[in-house]
Structure 1
Amino acid sequence: MNFEFSEEQEQFRKILRDFAKEELLPHYTKWDREGITPRHLWKRLGDLGVNGLRIPEEYGGSGADCVTTGIAAEEIGRGDFNLTYAVMLNALIGEIIAKHGSADLKGEWLPQIASGDKIVGIAITEPSAGTDAGGIQSTAKLEGNYYVLNGEKSGISVATCGDAFIIFAKTDPSLGNKGISAFLVPAELDGLETKGYEDMGNIPIGRGSLYMNDVKVPVSNLIGSENKGFSQVMNGFDLSRLLIGLQCVGTAMQSIDETIEHVKIRKSFGRPLATYQAVSFSLVTHFTQLELIKWQAYRGLWLRDKNLDHSKESSSVKWLGPKYSVEAIHECLLLNGHYAYTKEMPLEQRLRDVIGLEIGDGTAQANQMVIAKGIIGKEFRTY
């Protein structure tokens, strides 16, 4: 067993940590306050090679392994939690298009995703289909050289700023989960409308709903085979859930590092706060929990790189990563006192942002169901 990162990975980590500290962290709260998606930073991440980690080299990416992609999620999360969507979304979408898209789709979209010129979202969730993705009601009917899409997608990241979306719709409703297909749908197509939400957090992500009213999508924009979309995305979730865990851990660890410096300096009754066990042991507890999640995440990414099953690991990281991170950030906010409750410090925004990923990409209960199937057996269904 070897838990060391390669020299190249360590250099990559240092580059991203310096970038996160110097260029991202000072402006993290700005985009939330102004309600702006900082597209120029998506471009900057493209320059650093972050957007194209899971995109093959021939399409402008680096074809990096999953462990290296996890390093990017963790380190970018230290500087700007919302920009880690450029890691997580692009890794998921890059894999889907690279593995299942036509040569034309790969050639047109993958280089633009890798460079940061285009932002692409993934649209699965609907008002009546969240955890149960098989409950999708949106339809795609073949009419000549086009598929005509109708329906509504909800809770979609980058809904208001995306240049295109991978939209999942039923091409054969009689087949249930097996009748779902995936399409690359440019945002400017007639009949596609978006509406943003007034969310608690993740403001720069532009979350919202997509409304499809007779949207004509060329047959060439079908990703993979018809009726195979569900299986394509389910495997991708094992990757995105591991990356989500690391982006949450990165943000929480940054909060702990800042709080350690605070409690070493701030005095109470003539002594630094750090000398009180009630303070130091609390930080120790959260640090330990986050370390456990971090290494489970990297183990899951290593398993994926080896083409070994990693669904249990992925679901455990997605279940506990956001939970432990929220708890750690909350404690850091309290230890920093009343100023941390203001918008003068980043802790309150981190808390709001990370809470969102206790929901996205599978709730705690949904991930526990995956783990139960893995350790008890698929024949024992849980309800």
Structure 2
Amino acid sequence: MNFTFDSEQEAFREVLRDFSLKELLPQYMKWDQENIFPRHLWEKLGQLGVNGLRISEEYGGSGADCLTTGIAAEEIGRGDFSLTYAVMLNALASEIISNHATEAIKKTWLPQIASGEKIVGVAITEPSAGTDAGGILTTARLKGDHYILNGEKSGISAATIGDMFVVFAKTSPDLGSRGISAFIVPTDLDGVECKGYGDMGNKLIGRGSVYLNDVAVPKENLIGLENKGFAQVMNGFDLSRLLIGLQCVGAAFQSLDETIEHVKTRQSFGKPLATYQGVSFPIVEHYTNLELIKWQAYRGLWLRDQGLKHSKEASSVKWLGPKMSQEAIHECMLLNGHYAYTNEMPLEQRLRDVIGLEIGDGTAQANKFVIAREIIGKDFRPY
């Protein structure tokens, strides 16, 4: 077994670590407080190759493996948690488009996603269908050379900043989850309306609802085969869940690094805080938990690269990654004292941002369900 990254991966990590800490971190709080989406930084990530990691060179990407994509999620998470969506969202959407879309769709959209010129979202969930993605009500009815889409997508990342969405809708409502198809839907089409939420965290990523009112989508914008959309996205979730775990861990590790420097220099009763077990032991415990999650995530990504099953690994990382990360960041806030409770330090914002991903891409309960079926048996129904 070899737990080392190759020389190219290590060099990529160093470049991203430097960029993340020098260019992203100093302005991390600025964008949140001013409620401004830094599109120029999204484009800069495109120049660094981050946006097109899971896009082949033929379409302007780098064709990187999943392990390398995980490195990007972890390192960008250290500097600006919201911008890690350039890794996770793009990887999920790019795999769906690359593996299933027509050549025309690939040539049109993948280069623009890779460069950062266009922002893509994935629109699955609805007001009455979250964990039960197969229960969506949005419909797509074929009429001539267009599909007519109607419905509401809710809780969609990049809802207010996206240029297009991969939208999932029912083309055969009587077939349930087996009647779902996927479509490329540009936001400038007539009948598309996007509204943002007043979220607690992840403000920059523009989460909100996407309303589809008699939206005429060209037939060639169908991704893959009709009624096969559900299977396409379910496989993609295994990738996004592993990346989510790493972006959360990256934010938590950065918080620990900052806190370690603080407790080494801050004096109490004539000694540095770090000399007290009540301070050092919690740091050690959180560091250990994060290390375990990190390497489970990289193991899952390695399995995916090898074409091996990795659903239970992905679900364990998605369940524990955000949970353990927010607990570590919370501890860091306490160890830094009352000043860390203000918006003058990044800890409170990281805490708000990370908590959101305890919900997105599958709750803890949904992920435990996946693991239970894997280790106990597919006939197991933990209702």
**TM tier relative to shorter chain:** over 0.9
Aligned-partner Cα distance in 1 for 2:179–2:171: 6
Q: In the alignment, is residue 195 of structure 1 matched against residue 195 of structure 2?
A: yes
> Deviation of residue 169 (structure 1)?
0.3
Residue correspondence of structure 1 range 263-274 to structure 2 within 5 A: 263-274=263-274
Equivalent residue, structure 2, for 1:249: 249
Letter in 2 for 1:190: D
Aligned-partner Cα distance in 2 for 1:20–1:210: 31
Equivalent residue, structure 2, for 1:303: 303
Letter in 2 for 1:173: P
Letter in 2 for 1:252: A
> Deviation of residue 34 (structure 1)?
1.0
Letter in 2 for 1:86: A
Equivalent residue, structure 1, for 2:136: 136
Equivalent residue, structure 2, for 1:313: 313
Aligned-partner Cα distance in 1 for 2:179–2:259: 50
Q: Secondary structure at the match of 1:358?
A: coil
Note the alpha carbon deviations across 1:317-348, whole angstroms, 9 max, x for none. 00000000000000000100011000000000
Q: Secondary structure at the match of 1:55?
A: coil
Equivalent residue, structure 2, for 1:45: 45
> Deviation of residue 179 (structure 1)?
0.1
Q: Secondary structure at the match of 2:25?
A: helix
> Deviation of residue 380 (structure 1)?
1.3
Residue correspondence of structure 1 range 90-169 to structure 2 within 5 A: 90-169=90-169
Aligned-partner Cα distance in 2 for 1:166–1:31: 26
Residue correspondence of structure 1 range 214-293 to structure 2 within 5 A: 214-293=214-293
- May I ask how many residue pairs the two structures share in their alignment? 383
Letter in 1 for 2:380: F
Note the alpha carbon deviations across 1:188-246, whole angstroms, 9 max, x for none. 10011011000000000000001111000000000000000000000000000000000
Q: Secondary structure at the match of 1:210?
A: strand
Residue correspondence of structure 1 range 52-71 to structure 2 within 5 A: 52-71=52-71
Equivalent residue, structure 1, for 2:5: 5
Aligned-partner Cα distance in 1 for 2:189–2:35: 25
Aligned-partner Cα distance in 1 for 2:119–2:285: 38
Structure 1's consecutive aligned runs of 4 or more residues displaced over 2 angstroms after TM superposition are none
Aligned-partner Cα distance in 2 for 1:347–1:362: 25
Aligned-partner Cα distance in 2 for 1:251–1:380: 35
TM-score (norm 2): 1.00
Q: Secondary structure at the match of 1:31?
A: helix
Residue correspondence of structure 1 range 320-335 to structure 2 within 5 A: 320-335=320-335
Equivalent residue, structure 1, for 2:380: 380
Note the alpha carbon deviations across 1:134-192, whole angstroms, 9 max, x for none. 00000000000000000000000000010000000000011100000000000010011
> Deviation of residue 382 (structure 1)?
1.4
> Deviation of residue 287 (structure 1)?
0.2
Equivalent residue, structure 2, for 1:360: 360
Aligned-partner Cα distance in 2 for 1:354–1:4: 27
Gaps of 5+ in 2: none
Aligned-partner Cα distance in 1 for 2:381–2:240: 24
Identity of matched residues, %: 77
Letter in 1 for 2:274: A
TM-score (norm 1): 1.00
